[in-house]
Amino acid sequence: MKHILAVDQFERPWLESLFTEADRMRDLPRDAEPLRGKILATIFYEPSSRTRLSFESAMMRLGGNVISTENASEFSSAIKGETVEDTMRMVSGYADAIAIRHFEEGAIARAVTVSDVPILNAGDGPGEHPTQALLDLYTIHHEIGRIDDIHIAMVGDLKYGRTVRSLSLLLRQTNNCHITFVAPNAVRMRDDIKDALDAAGVHWQEESDLHAAMENADVVYQTRIQKERFDSESDYEAVKGTYVIDAEAMTHLPAHAIVMHPLPRVDEIATEVDTDPRAAYFRQARNGVFVRMALLNQLLG
Ligand code: CP
């Protein structure tokens, strides 16, 4: 595997070996530097805290170096009209791998066609976020102890949320998974994902009652309503706040279950939930470092 573009690339045996590697990365000695002398470029045309910083942390923990532009739309030559293809041609001469986030679905697929070095899709508009899906499934494995026989409720902005799109597709690599989609009408899961799940025989259903969905879940995956993807403020206002997980909602969640969220959150998980041991979202974000270490080591080691 040269590039990381979409979750369709990932198969079960590879996932299992990646998760074993991610476990090993948790305790990698600080003086082990398997990627010493290698350079990762992080080129982000959309804002990010977790993905960019965890990629950079992962590279540095492996002994490698990082070059970065955190606001490529403004601080790279994109503002002068340079295409993403030309930027990638050039950066592939400066770095051994490139993690790129772009606001346009499909832009990273174009970048891959011109790059001499591995490209990692760090999110392409409302398209996919494959490394997030890897860390999400790894978190389920780490927290619940299995990735089969999981009932997951995905909540919130399922139309524009690339993390739930990628995770849904990745769950086709598990056995006997059941997905319940809980979303306001305007942001329901798109048909392309539902069709892919049907073709793979993954059970899914839609539910409007969040509490009912939580009662049957091993994992509740809450997401932010993505204001930046709406055409108007009023369309966003009509949808936001529909499904909030607060202390009362948590009384409907089984004791063994967890709450995940790719973050950032706005108000869809009340801060009072943060101290509940079932709130796994900050542990999930930390897992991003270990999974990205395992991935970079595999691509560049
Ligand atoms: N989960 C995630 O993609 O977060 P960032 O947008 O902060 O990278």
Task: Find out whether 224 and 241 touch, Cβ atoms under 8 Å.
Answer: no
Here the tokens at position 153 are 């409720």
Pocket of ligand 1 (CB under 6 A): 48-51, 123, 132, 262-264
pLDDT in tens, 41-68: 999 999 999 999 999 999 999 999 999 9
Q: Give the pLDDT of residue 73.
A: 80
What average pLDDT does the segment 287-299 reach? Answer: 98
Ligand 1, atom 1, residue with closest C-alpha: 262
Measured distance CA(261)–CA(139) in Å, rounded = 11
Residue nearest to atom 6 of ligand 1 (CA): 48
The DSSP secondary structure of 239-267, one letter per residue, reads: HTTSS-B-HHHHTTS-TT-EEE--S--SS
The fold adopted by the segment(s) 130-285 is Rossmann fold (3.40.50)
Is 80 tagged catalytic? yes
User: pLDDT-based confidence at 258, cuts 50/70/90?
Assistant: very high
User: Are 83 and 116 spatial neighbours (Cβ–Cβ below 8 Å)?
Assistant: no
Question: What is the rounded average pLDDT of the residues 268-273?
Answer: 98
Which spans in the chain are helix H?
12-26, 50-61, 72-75, 84-91, 107-112, 130-144, 162-170, 191-200, 210-215, 233-239, 247-250, 281-300
User: What's the first-to-final CA gap in the chain, in angstroms?
Assistant: 13
230 or 136: which leads in pLDDT: 136
d(CA 262, ligand 1 centre) in Å: 7
pTM of the model: 0.96
Mean pLDDT of 183-210: 97
Centre of ligand 1 from the C-alpha of residue 120, in Å: 14
CA 21, CA 135: separation in Å to the nearest integer? 12
**136 phi/psi in degrees, rounded to 5:** -70, -45
Q: What is the pLDDT of residue 281?
A: 98
Give the domain ranges of the chain. Answer: 7-128+288-300, 130-285
The answer to whether domain 7-128+288-300 and domain 130-285 are alike in fold is yes
**Ligand 1 closest atom vs CA 129:** 3
Report CA(32)–ligand 1 centroid distance (Å): 28
pLDDT surpassing 80 at residue 1? no
pLDDT at position 216 is 93
Measured in whole angstroms, how far is the alpha carbon of residue 100 from the centre of its chain?
13
From 46, 49, 227, mutation site for ligand 1 pocket: most ligand atoms within 8 A of C-beta = 49
The pLDDT of residue 126: 87
CB-based burial label for 139 (10 Å; 0-12, 13-18, 19+): buried
Measure the CA–CA gap between 201 and 163, rounded to whole angstroms: 21
- Asked if pLDDT for residue 251 goes beyond 80, the answer is yes
CA distances from 236 to 144, 161, 184, 219 (A): 34, 14, 11, 26
Q: 285 alpha carbon to ligand 1 midpoint, in Å? A: 9
pLDDT band at 174 (very low <50, low <70, confident <90, very high): very high
Q: Is CATH 3.40.50.1370 the classification given to domain 7-128+288-300?
A: yes
Q: Is the pLDDT of residue 75 over 80?
A: no
**Known catalytic residue: 131?**
no
